[in-house]
Structure 1
Amino acid sequence: MTIIAAADGSALGNPGPAGWAWYIDPTSWRAGGWAHGTNNMGELTAVLDLLRSTRHRADEPLKVLCDSQYVINSVTKWMPGWKKKGWKKRDGKPVLNVEIMKALDEELAGRDVSFEWVKGHAGHELNEAADERARAMAAAYQSGMAADDLPAGPGFRDDAGYGTEAGDEEPDLFSAWASSDDLTADSAAGPAGSGDTTGSGDVPEHLVTEASSREATVLGCGNTAGGPGESLHPDLVCVDRRGATAAPESVLSIVEAAGCEPRELRVTALGAHAYHVSYRLEETSTVTRRSSVWVREDQHHDMGPWLLRYHQVTAEV
């Protein structure tokens, strides 16, 4: 499957505080920068970091969307000639940004990488997202932001870029069972993921186990790689036990319940790319009923990861 990403750079003053970013989807992007750099440095470095970040998936085609003809021409037209001439241009002058160019040449070797020009600042969704993050990084360096606070992004999610091109059938969790009106399964006899499940519908046990493992991760008691925050949808709606919709900064504190395991777990397929899960949670000082909706979305012709879209906490009386 083809990984599709936009890469962009920004420099305030050019040269000046500079940033770069590549972007695949809201859960898979990265940004960096310098206190002093150029726009071209940012554009090239965005592509370089994207190549390095996807190196472990080098057997898959990569399509890079750029609004810089300089980057595209450098990589696809001029670089072979520069390399033959000892990294000098036709006029004998040294190639600008030569260290980045050499690194790009090394990373591109043996990979199936294509470049596509897109018009900048014209509403292209991926390009705008990369541009926004590159500019944010440049602004952060301009303001002297502490290194730990820089908006560097989550990096490449290992499940990013999977899926098929538009028009092909998408593999998913529940499509084989989506024709039923009430596809459910219960695990009332034990903790979620314990394997002690009794089915009240046709959802296979291994899918219930996957759903329970995901839920345990956001609760903070799972063993999956990555923190709870990586599984949250950017538009997550969270309702606390008072019935109030939580502010974005409070979501994790409401969802997390470290040390607790979901019981009486019930999974209901809502379609091919969405499901509902409800369960009982015995916390130290209270017992709550939890309800979650998880979704997968088409991220520019590739299916994204499962993300928590809705979560509600209700105190059990």
Structure 2
Amino acid sequence: MPTEPAEPRDVVEISTDGACLGNPGPGGWGAVLRHRGREKRLSGGDPATTNNKMELTGAIEGLAALTRPSTVIIYTDSSYVRNGITKWVAGWQRNGWKTTDKKPVKNADLWRRLIEEEKRHEVTWKWVKGHSGDHYNEIADELATSAARDVRR
């Protein structure tokens, strides 16, 4: 018996960024979600964190904000996040969350959360050069930097 065609998934674009005032130090993350001509801005911070943690958190929170499975394009200026999720994470999982030199993977808790959030969607990861005039990357950067300043106060 033929199966019903799958419902078409909504396409959502998410631009994310992380910031840290000192590394480690107070940090923030930002995400700009775009869907059907609408925009939603999210941000948050942590008084004691690292830039990489905030970069990961921006992507996690952007995906977590989606209420149904979607086709997602995530734009990040973090090679750490893009390479981690597209190239390195499968090996880390195979190796029991150890690097090739047998050390524990840094931020494994956040990588696991990112994997869980990504599972609900069809995600394409795109790298953009930071501070190069990409409109939504600049907004995500401002959200992240403002959140870092807020938690520093």
Q: How does the TM-score come out when normalised to structure 2?
A: 0.88
Aligned ranges 1:129-278 → 2 under 5 Å: 129-143=139-153
Larger RCO (CA within 8 A; separation ≥ 6) = 2
Task: Report the Cα distance in structure 2 between the residues aligned to 1:86 and 1:70, rounded to whole angstroms.
Answer: 20
1:111 positional shift: 2.0
1:106–1:39: structure 2 CA closer, same or farther, 3 Å change rule?
same
What whole-Å deviation, never above 9, does each CA across 1:99-156 have from its counterpart, x for those lacking one? 001111122225200111111001100000000000000011111xxxxxxxxxxxxx
Amino acid at match of 1:10: A
Give the one of 34, 47, 54 matched to 2:46.
34
Amino acid at match of 1:80: A
Task: Report the Cα distance in structure 2 between the residues aligned to 1:134 and 1:68, rounded to whole angstroms.
Answer: 13
Paired residue secondary structure (1:91): coil
Larger helix fraction of residues:
2
Give the one of 85, 90, 94 matched to 2:100.
90
Partner of 1:80: 90
Partner of 2:22: 13
Partner of 2:68: 57
Compare CA radii of gyration and give the structure with the larger one.
1
Task: Report the Cα distance in structure 2 between the residues aligned to 1:115 and 1:2, rounded to whole angstroms.
Answer: 13
Give the one of 69, 75, 78 matched to 1:68.
78
Paired residue secondary structure (1:14): coil
Runs of 4 or more above 3 Å deviation: none
Task: Report the Cα distance in structure 2 between the residues aligned to 1:14 and 1:98, rounded to whole angstroms.
Answer: 18
Paired residue secondary structure (1:2): strand
Task: Report the Cα distance in structure 2 between the residues aligned to 1:92 and 1:45, rounded to whole angstroms.
Answer: 25
Task: Report the Cα distance in structure 1 between the residues aligned to 2:65 and 2:120, rounded to whole angstroms.
Answer: 16
Aligned-residue identity in percent: 39
Task: Report the Cα distance in structure 2 between the residues aligned to 1:85 and 1:136, rounded to whole angstroms.
Answer: 38
Q: How does the TM-score come out when normalised to structure 1?
A: 0.43
Q: Is the 8 A contact 1:4 1:62 kept in 2?
A: yes
1:24 positional shift: 2.5
Task: Report the Cα distance in structure 1 between the residues aligned to 2:11 and 2:116, rounded to whole angstroms.
Answer: 21
Partner of 2:13: 4
Task: Report the Cα distance in structure 2 between the residues aligned to 1:101 and 1:129, rounded to whole angstroms.
Answer: 24
Task: Report the Cα distance in structure 2 between the residues aligned to 1:140 and 1:110, rounded to whole angstroms.
Answer: 32
1:57 positional shift: 2.0
Task: Report the Cα distance in structure 2 between the residues aligned to 1:110 and 1:17, rounded to whole angstroms.
Answer: 31
Paired residue secondary structure (2:32): strand
Amino acid at match of 1:16: G
What whole-Å deviation, never above 9, does each CA across 1:141-189 have from its counterpart, x for those lacking one? 111xxxxxxxxxxxxxxxxxxxxxxxxxxxxxxxxxxxxxxxxxxxxxx
Amino acid at match of 1:37: T
Residues 1:46 and 2:58 aligned together: yes
Paired residue secondary structure (2:27): strand
Q: Is the 8 A contact 1:24 1:126 kept in 2?
A: no
Task: Please provide the CA RMSD for this pair.
Answer: 1.3
Q: Is the 8 A contact 2:33 2:62 kept in 1?
A: no
Partner of 2:4: none
Structure 2: which 5+ runs fail to align? 1-9
